[in-house]
Chains A and B, each alone.
Chain A
Amino acid sequence: MTNDDYLELQLGDLLDRLAADGLAPGGGSAAALTVAFAARLVAMVSRCSTGWSEAPGVVAQANAIGERAVELAHTDGRVWEEALIALRDAEAKESADARRDFALEQKLEAAAAAPLEIASLGADAAALAALAGEHGEATYRADAAAAAALAAGGATAAAHLVRVNLGVRSADPRLARARASEEAARDVAARLLESHR
């Protein structure tokens, strides 16, 4: 069922699918869709900020980030499911098999690549939320802060999945990239949320 277009599903069906069977969509897809929500919220704030000259350009960027996030939700679902099947296959067979272990490692590498991109998109969505929070219509600035919080949540979840999928290789530069995206998004969210207390 992972090939379904999430945008074509009713929201209730998508949520049921998330809760269903341990296959996709999972945490990575949920993180990506959370980033998509954040980006679309930034688009809304910007579109409503008629006195802000850069608003149309921010709307275009927010929409682009939202579309990429939905694509990544699909990609993550697909590669994660493939990795999960390979992992179960490896666990079911007790004897060592170098070729199978290599294939599994490749699947896990692929499963880490998608959340890495999701974390990066989360940081970008948060950066746009910061702009909207600073220049957007005052009435909607709380929504910009909410968008930043969602983006940070998506980035944090995605960075966690990168860590898990890459295992114990703490020196891997992808971990540093994921962590940097997560921290950037969280810093923006903390700043915006604090300014709206």
Chain B
Amino acid sequence: MSGPSGFTDAELVRACRAGDADAWNELVERYSRYVYAIAVRGFRLSDEDAEDVFQDVFTRIYTRLDSLREDSALRPWIAQLTRRRCLDAIAARREVPAEELTEEGSTDLTEIEEAFEVREALTSLSGACQDILDRFFTRDQSYKTISDELEIPSGTIASRIARCLGRLRETLEGRNPADGGSRE
């Protein structure tokens, strides 16, 4: 995955280890939603507990980044840290040892992983594609509203969205990882 700096996860880890403050900010920005999603959607923690997990996970990332053996394995490592910390939080509420808890009952984390992968793939699309997909699928804007605000013919909106989805799919399937040349 790459963000504003264009760093992959492995590059980001190396920059963080070198003490680059901007890289730390980017790491938090890149993974904050992910950690929250696992805590709130995956384990159904309260906002208060999720906030505690969030703080604790990023503190651990900061203090233990040197223990990460494979720099490119940042995401699975963060996922593991978050899952463990969520189980700790649940155990504390129920007053039982965390070792006695399993992830049974938590929402399938695969869905969260998939959502995160889609979000990652979206960042590789052109700005125009990201914008039109966000407007239709996230903000629920009608074709008419999109047409009016972007000043493009209403009759072409659905086709543009379909083409952008096609590029997103190709990116997700790894057939077209570098979608930089599109003007869509």
Contacts and interface: CB of A to CB of B under 8 A. Distances in A.
Contact of B166 (A56, A121, A124): A56
Interface in A124-144: 124, 127-128, 130-131
Interface string B152-177: 00110111011111100100000000
A131 B162 CA distance: 11
Q: Is the interface of B mostly helix, strand, loop or mixed?
A: helix
Contact of B158 (A56, A68, A131): A131
B143 interface: yes
A127 B136 contact: no
Contacts of A172: none
Contacts, number: 49
B143 A68 contact: no
Nearest to A131: B158
Q: Is the interface of A mostly helix, strand, loop or mixed?
A: helix
A120 B158 contact: no
A42 B136 CA distance: 17
Interface residues of B, number: 18
A54 interface: yes
Contact of A68 (B140, B144, B163): B140
A2 interface: no
10 contacts: A55-B162, A57-B163, A57-B165, A61-B158, A64-B137, A121-B142, A123-B142, A127-B157, A130-B155, A180-B144
A123 B143 CA distance: 9
Contacts of B161: 57, 61
Say which size band chain A's interface belongs to: 20 to 34
Interface in B129-147: 136-137, 140, 142-144
A58 interface: yes
Given A123-B142, A123-B143, A123-B144, A60 B158 contact: no
B184 to A, nearest CB: 12
Which 10 A-B pairs have CB atoms at the shortest separation, nearest pair first? A57-B162, A57-B165, A54-B162, A120-B142, A124-B143, A58-B162, A128-B158, A131-B158, A124-B142, A127-B143
Interface in A25-63: 53-58, 60-61
Given A57-B163, A57-B165, A60-B165, 19 more contacts: A53-B166, A54-B159, A54-B166, A55-B162, A56-B169, A57-B162, A57-B164, A60-B162, A61-B161, A61-B162, A64-B137, A120-B144, A121-B142, A123-B142, A123-B144, A124-B142, A124-B144, A127-B155, A131-B159
